A and B are shown apart, each in its own frame.
Chain A
Amino acid sequence: MQKRELLLGDEAVALAALDAGISGAYSYPGTPATEILEYVQSRAADYGVKASWSANEKVAYEGALGMSYCGKRALVSMKHVGLNVAADPFVNSGVTGVGGGLVLCVADDPGMHSSQDEQDSRYLAHFALIPCLEPRNQQEAYDMTREAFELSERFATPVMVRIVTRLAHSRADVVTSARREQNALKLPEDVSGYILLPSNARVQYDKLVKKYPLLEEVAAASPHNQISLEGDRRVGILCNSIAYNYIREAFGGTIPHPFVKVGMYPMPKAMIRRLVEAVDEVVVVEEGYPFLEEALRGITGAGKPVHGMLDGRLPRTGELTPAIVAKAFGIVSEIPFVPTLEKLPGRPPALCPGCPHADSFRAVKLASGDGPKVPIFSDIGCYTLSFYPPYNAVDSCVDMGASISMAIGAAHAGLHPVMCSIGDSTFGHSGMTGLLTAAYEKLPMTVFILDNGTVAMTGTQDTLLTGEALVKAVIGLGVEPEHVRVLSPLPKNLEENARIIREELEYKGLSVIIPRRICVQYKR
C-alpha cells in the first residue's frame, strides 16, 4: 500500500526504519537529528517499538548494537559530533559485524547552524570500512533507509545513512511503501565475533577487510551512483547528493556536461575514472568536506585539471547554496533587490525572558564581586547563550562534558577559584565522569549544575537526571553532602543565592551548586 505524506528528511528516515521493521530506536538529542527519534516516539505504540532517549550517543549506539545482537533491527541516530562520542562502539561494530539490521543515521551540519563544527561523517564511514548511503531528497531518505537495513543484514555490517541539515529540516512529499514485520529474537550462533579479544579481533578484522571489496562492487552497481557522458566534454562534474540538486537547479534542470553523482560509498572509483577520461577538466562539488576531491586528486593528481574546494573554485567552509554552486560554473543570476536599510543589525538567539539560567548567572556575577573576572569553564546548552551581553558569563564551550574536565586542568594549573557550569542533561551525558575524577582528587573547584529539568536547547526533550536524583548522583560520585547546595534561581533570591555561592567559592574543596528551576519553554 502506497501513501503520500509530507515529511521532514528526519521523519522520512524514521518512518522508513519503522516500516523496515525495527524493534528499537536509540538516540541522544542533537540538532539536526533530534526529530528522528521524536518521530519514532510519536508512532512507537502503533508500531510496537522501543524508542527512548539514551544518556549519550555512545549508550545509544551500544543499545542498538545489543538489539542487533539479538537478531532484531535497530535504528540509531545522532548529530555529527555525537558520532565522535559514539566512535568507539561505531568503529568496533564494523569489526564485530551485526545480527539484525543496524542502521546509523547521522546528520551533519554544514554551515554550523547549531553546532560547534561542520565535520563530514563520510570520513568516519570510510574509516570504519562500512557503507554509507547519502540521500539527495526526502524520498531517497525514505528509500535509502529501507535499503540500508537490507544491506546491513545481507553483509552483516552496520550501514550509515548520512544526511545534512537542509535535508533533515526540509519537508517534502514522500511516497511510502508497505510495512515489514519485525524480526524474531535470534541469538548469534557463534559469539566469538562479538568478543573482541585480540585473537578473535584479528579474525574479525580480516573478515571486515575482505568484505569491503564486495561492498565496493555493490556500490559500483548501485543506481545511487550515476554516470552520464552526454553533453559538453570540456568540463566534467563530480558531485555528491545535495550538491547534485543545486547543480541541476543552476542549469535549469538538465546538466549540460558529463557528470558522476555519488549517493553510495565506498565511492565508485571505476565510474569516476571513466568520467575523468572523457573530459578535459573536472569540477568537484560536494556538501561537506572535499572527500571526493581529495580522493580524485590523490598524491600525483588526476592527470587532468581539477577544480573544487581545494583550489578555491568553491568555498572550503560553510554550506553550499544554489548561488554558490551556480557561480562555480560561471552562472550569475540577476539580483534586483538588496537591503535598503543602511544598517541591518543581526538577531542572534538569546536566553528567553524569565530563563532560570539568567538568574543563575546574575547571582554568580554578584558573588564574584568587582575584581577581575573569574573564568567560568562552561558547556553546551542554552546557558552557552550567556556568552552574549548583557551576561558575558561563560569563558569556554568546546564539547559536551568539557566544562568540568577543563576545570580540573585549570585547578592543576594553579587557578583559584575555579568555576565551571554544565546543564543537567550535559551532566548526565558526559559530566559525571569529570566530577568523579574531581571528587577522587578532592580538587578545589565550584561546579554549577544548572538543573532546568529538560534538554532545552534541542527543544525540551526528557532529561535523565534532574531534581533529587541529580543530588543523589552528585553525592554518590563522592562530593561532600554539605557542599552540595541547591538554589532557587529567581530574581527575589538574588542576594541569598550570591551569598551561598560566595561561601562555596571561599571553601578550599570541591562544591557543587545546583540552581534548580524548570525551563520556561517546558510544557507537559
Chain B
Amino acid sequence: MKQDIILAGVGGQGILTIAFMLDSAALARGYRIKQAEVHGMAQRGGAVYSHLRFADSEILSDLIPAGQADMILSVEPLEVQRYLPYLHRNAVVVSSVHPFKNIPDYPEEKAVLDALLELPRAVLVDARQIATAHKMPRAENMAMLGAALPFLPFELADFDPFIRAQFERKGEAVVQSNMAVLAQGFRTGMAVKERLDAGMPADVAFRETHPNP
C-alpha cells in the first residue's frame, strides 16, 4: 500500500489542517509517513501545497516524483492546474469548485471548471455550500477532506479524535459541526465516486450530484 497525495490551495485556506488530519489518521493506522509542507512567505496568500505520502514500507523522498501521485486534493480549482504533472494515469482529482480570487489575472471561472471536468477522474465538490449549510464558512477544507475519503484507506470515524483535538478549545458545537461538514463532504465524494466507477463522465457526475448550482 502506498498513497501519494498533493494537497493544494491558497495560503490561509487550511491546507495544513487537512495535512495534519491525514497524517494523524495514517499514523494511527500504523503507516509510515512523509509530509512536506510550505511555511514562510507563501503562506501570505500565495499558492500553497503539501506533498503527503504514506505507505506500509519505508518512504524515501519527501517530495512525490512527477507522474506518480495518486491524488490531488485541492481547496481551490485553479490551483489544481499547477500540480497536474504529478499525477499518474489513473489518479483522481478532488477539488472544490469555489475560486479564490486574490490575483488580478484570475481566468474566467467557467474555463477553470471546464478544464477540470475534462479530466477522466475529477471529483468536483461545492465545499462552500456544504460549509455554509452548517454555518461553518471557514470549514471548506474539512468538506474537501471528507470528499477525498472514499478514495483513501480510512473511515470517517478515524478523524473524530483529531477533529476533537484541533477544535476542542472552540467548544463542543464547533467540534460537532466540523464532524458534520466532514461527513457531508464524504457523502458527496462517495456519490461522485459511484458514478465515475460506473463509467459516467466527470461533468455529468458533477451535475447529477449538484442539482442546484
Contact = CB atoms under 8 A, between A and B. Distances in A.
A350 B46 contact: yes
Interface string B26-57: 01000011111111111111110001000000
A32 B60 CA distance: 21
Interface stretch (B101-109, B125-133, B149-157, B195-203): B101-109
Nearest to A337: B84
A172 B33 contact: yes
Interface of A: 4, 6, 31-32, 34-35, 113-114, 137, 166-167, 169-173, 242, 245-246, 248-250, 253, 321-323, 326, 333-341, 343-352, 382, 385, 389, 457-459
A382 B44 contact: yes
Contacts of A347: 10, 45-47, 79, 102-103
Contact of B61 (A4, A246, A343, A348): A246
A303 to B, nearest CB: 32
A245 B32 contact: no
Interface string B66-103: 11100000000011011011011101000000000011
A348 B66 contact: no
Given A6-B27, A339-B81, A350-B102, A167 B40 contact: no
B43 A349 contact: yes
B67 A245 contact: no
Q: Is the interface of B mostly helix, strand, loop or mixed?
A: mixed
Contacts of A171: 19, 23, 33-37
B41 to A, nearest CB: 4
Interface stretch (B110-118, B173-181, B182-190): B110-118
| Those 10 A-B pairs whose CB atoms lie nearest each other, nearest first | A114-B40, A31-B40, A349-B46, A322-B65, A170-B36, A349-B44, A170-B62, A337-B84, A347-B47, A340-B115
Contacts of A172: 32-35, 59, 62
Contacts of B45: 347, 349-350, 352
Contacts of A334: 67, 88-89
Nearest to A351: B44
B48 to A, nearest CB: 9
Q: Is the interface of A mostly helix, strand, loop or mixed?
A: loop
B81 A344 contact: yes
Chain B CB within 10 A, most for which of A248, A322, A343, A459: A322
A137 B60 CA distance: 8
A349 B45 CA distance: 5
A31 B102 contact: no
B119 interface: yes
Given A321-B63, A349-B42, A389-B104, 10 more contacts: A6-B23, A114-B42, A170-B62, A242-B62, A246-B60, A322-B65, A344-B81, A349-B41, A457-B44, A459-B40
B107 to A, nearest CB: 6
Contacts of B23: 6, 171
Given A35-B39, A113-B42, A341-B81, A346 B47 contact: yes
Contacts of B115: 340-341
A477 B43 CA distance: 35
B3 interface: no
Nearest to A167: B62
Interface of B: 10-11, 19, 23-24, 27, 32-47, 51, 59-68, 78-79, 81-82, 84-85, 87-89, 91, 102-107, 111-112, 115-116, 118-119
A470 B103 CA distance: 35
A249 B107 contact: no
26 contacts: A6-B24, A113-B38, A113-B42, A114-B39, A169-B37, A170-B51, A171-B19, A171-B23, A171-B33, A171-B34, A171-B35, A172-B32, A172-B62, A173-B27, A245-B62, A246-B60, A249-B61, A322-B66, A334-B67, A335-B66, A340-B115, A341-B112, A348-B46, A352-B44, A457-B44, A459-B43
A250 B63 CA distance: 12
A137 B116 CA distance: 35
Nearest to A458: B40
A468 to B, nearest CB: 28
Contacts of B112: 341
A334 B68 CA distance: 9
B40 A322 contact: no
B147 to A, nearest CB: 20
B67 A336 contact: yes
Contacts of A166: 36, 62-63
